[in-house]
Amino acid sequence: MALSWGDLPVGRVLRLAGVDSPIDANVMELLLDPLPETGPAVITYAATEGDSVSEFVESILCELEILAIGLFPAWLPEGEKLSGPGGGGVAAARILAMRLASSTRHFGPFLADLAARAIQHRGPLVPGQRGPKGRSFPAESRAAGLARVIASTFGRESAALVIYVPEKLTSHGETLLVAGCEWLAHRSGMGIWLVSPELRRVETRYLKVPAAVRRLAEEMTAPPITARVGVPPITGRPHPGSVVEQAMEAALAECGWAHGRTWNQTYQSKDPLFVMVRTDLMWVPEKCVVELDGPEHETFAQMERDQIRDRHLERDGFTVLRFTNQQVMGDLRAVLRHIEGFLRGRRLGMSEGAG
């Protein structure tokens, strides 16, 4: 029986497969962006073959800790009001974390340490970087604590880790990987879901892949999986790993005309055959969508996909404004003037129409 995201069990290791087509990186990208409304918070991880179970587990826990630090303050209410390490921010972060843990399932000492490290870090995620060191907690405590932080960040009851299994994995490497995944699932409570053509000793569950997703995935060039950890955006916030979105939001926060914006909002086209999409930045009443395009948008397949998305949005009355990352970081004022001019014109037309 084919399952949806909300039907997949957590706390277990599973191999994901499609009913009518294989599950690969392209399919996963489309299934997880935007993050499904049902089921756990889903993080992706590109595994490498390790020499031991402990090495494999430690590599994942380190990456998840960096991720959790980068997601701060989304998981700690009032955390964004705190000052940096030079003021009383670290102590205040510890107090807020302990207070939160007293009324939730979080482990207080671990959460307090993580909050203090996040205050010391302060900045968007940078691939491959290492955050500030904290107290030494057992791997079991780290696994369970990080799973709860990630789930709470996205307002979910649980979390799952989708692991891309390396190609041409040796028999020994497969044994180590599966053993490490079993440990993580048991100790953290996360779902550990593997994307691999074939794996021994792992139960396979079949996932529903909508026809629209299959069609788009076939048109996409197979992407190289370079990021160790992939994290979905948080609705209402700029992406924690995007320097460009962070810079744009910092500038918009100073602009009175930018009120009513929402980051990383999902939108379902009126066309039922088209997949739900996530927009980078949206003003809903003005029907304005702003997309910030990185280098991956320069490929022919991605440009075609963007054009399809834009046409569906435009049919529903939206105007899509696209800017490259280079435009935002190189001449942010010009980008803001363009958006401001459009919004003021659209608002003027709305007020005249209402009159």
pLDDT grade, residue 347 (50/70/90)?
very high
**In this model, does residue 272 exceed pLDDT 80?**
no
- The pair of three-digit structure tokens given for residue 307, joined into one six-digit string: 């054009």
Q: Give burial (CB, 10 Å; 0-12/13-18/19+) of 197.
A: exposed
Give the mean pLDDT of 48-63.
Answer: 91
pLDDT on residue 24 = 79
pLDDT tens column, 281-340? 999 999 999 999 987 777 776 787 788 888 889 989 999 999 999 999 999 999 999 999
pLDDT tens column, 234-264? 888 888 778 899 899 999 999 999 999 999 9
Q: Match 């792992």 to its residue by tokens.
A: 202
Q: H helices then E strands: how many in the chain? A: 11, 11
pLDDT on residue 38 = 82
**In this model, does residue 72 exceed pLDDT 80?**
yes
Specify the pTM.
0.77
pLDDT on residue 245 = 92
Domains in the chain, ordered, with CATH?
Answer: 2-230 (no CATH), 243-354 (3.40.960.10)
Instruction: Give the separation between CA 174 and CA 177, rounded to whole angstroms.
Output: 5
Cβ atoms within 10 A of the Cβ of 135, count?
Answer: 11
Residue bearing the bigger pLDDT, 226 or 197: 197
